[in-house]
Amino acid sequence: MSDDATPAKVRLTDGLGPLPEPDTHCFDDDVGRDVWSYSAEKMREYAMREISNELHRVADRLDEIARHRHSAARTCEASQALQYKTSADTLRIVADELRA
């Protein structure tokens, strides 16, 4: 895969943390040798951590939007700010549950 990332062509690891260390040793029939791999549990842990990180990133963005809207003079935008803040708080709760 090329390193020329564009909106239509994003590298597979964009925005993700590093992969964990492999934890499973096995014989790979395709290559005819012993290899290290990842257990399903290790990959689930990795996925949950990355999902949690992304939820926190989105929650931070919602907080930023809420702060901007709350400072607006219009009542409608202040109400929307509260909705964004509530959504951000909910996302953080879900993200922290995924990490547990």
For residue 77, tell me if it sits in a domain.
yes
For residue 94, tell me if it sits in a domain.
yes
For residue 78, tell me if it sits in a domain.
yes
pLDDT bin (cut points 50, 70, 90) of residue 83 is confident
Residues facing 13 on adjacent strands = none
For residue 41, tell me if it sits in a domain.
yes
pLDDT per residue over 24-79, tens digit each?
A: 888 888 888 988 888 999 998 888 888 888 888 888 888 887 777 666 656 666 77
| Predicted pLDDT at 50 | 87
pLDDT of 1 above 50: no
For residue 4, tell me if it sits in a domain.
no
Q: What is the count of structural domains for the chain?
A: 1
Q: Domain limits at 84?
A: 24-99
pLDDT bin (cut points 50, 70, 90) of residue 88 is confident
Does the pTM surpass 0.75? The reply is: no
The answer to whether 53 and 17 have CB atoms below 8 angstroms apart is: yes
For residue 93, tell me if it sits in a domain.
yes
Listed in sequence order, the DSSP H helices in 16-74 are: 40-70
